[in-house]
Amino acid sequence: MRRKWLTIWRVGVGLLVVELVVYGMLQVFSFGCRSLAWRQFNAGVNNEKRQVEEIPYAELINYWSEQAGISPELVAAVIYAESSFQPKAVSPAGARGLMQIMPDTWQVINKEIQACKFHHNGKCTTACYEDAGMNIHIGTVYLGRLLERYNQNAVWALAAYNAGPAAVEKYQGIPPFTETQSYVQRIILYWFDIHKADSLLYEMGMRELDSVYHYIRGMMAVTLSLVACALWRLVKEYRSWHWY
């Protein structure tokens, strides 16, 4: 029995090492794919500010994006991720409208640019938040400021748009929040789609490897359980480490 459990333990440890190596290699590959795709995304957002067509509110998106000096395709992708182009959308946290702007953020920016001054009797009401033009106006100004804050790093700006600048600066990048990571991923994939760019690298790095990760993590859990069981049996039987 001793040899049997010792063999199981050794095989289990070896298998666990192999699984860890494979998992690490996949992580490196995934990181490389993401990095290359992020560079392509940032370059496209900052250097190719194409106008959007054949989507809801295209004219408003193009106009206010140009006024803010940012990519219309990026703004369209943010609206898609935030509200699916629903002007009356309200999040559980209270964010409002097409670009899901929090009332506090709205008030700060509106105080400076006076977006509500000539609309709805000059008062910020529910009608303001649901007004497509005003919401896109406020949202593009805010997004433009985030891009300036992060030196035109669109990935960081998007993360800050979702999780707040404090979280991005704390983690020096996308915070480890599932919601924020999923949010940035959705926007980048949508941008690749409307930009007519090849998103294969990004999809491989962020989407296609998910099932592989889950499979390997499951195998590692099983292997670790087997190793622990074998070790427990060995300790129980011999209570010493003098194996012959």
CB 68 within 8 A of CB 146: no
Q: Rounded to whole angstroms, how far apart are CA atoms 18 and 218?
A: 14
User: Phi-psi category of 52—alpha, beta or left, where left has phi over 0 and alpha has psi -120 to 50?
Assistant: beta
How large is the angle between the packed helices 154-163 and 132-149, nearest 10 degrees? Answer: 120
Distance in angstroms (rounded) separating the CA atoms of residues 159 and 231: 45
* Crossing angle (nearest 10°) for helices 132-149 and 103-113: 90
Catalytic choice (19, 82, 148, 169): 82
66 is catalytic: no
Contact 85, 194 (CB under 8 A): no
How far is residue 149's CA from residue 26's CA, in Å, rounded to a whole number? Answer: 33
- Looking at the annotation, which residues are catalytic? 82
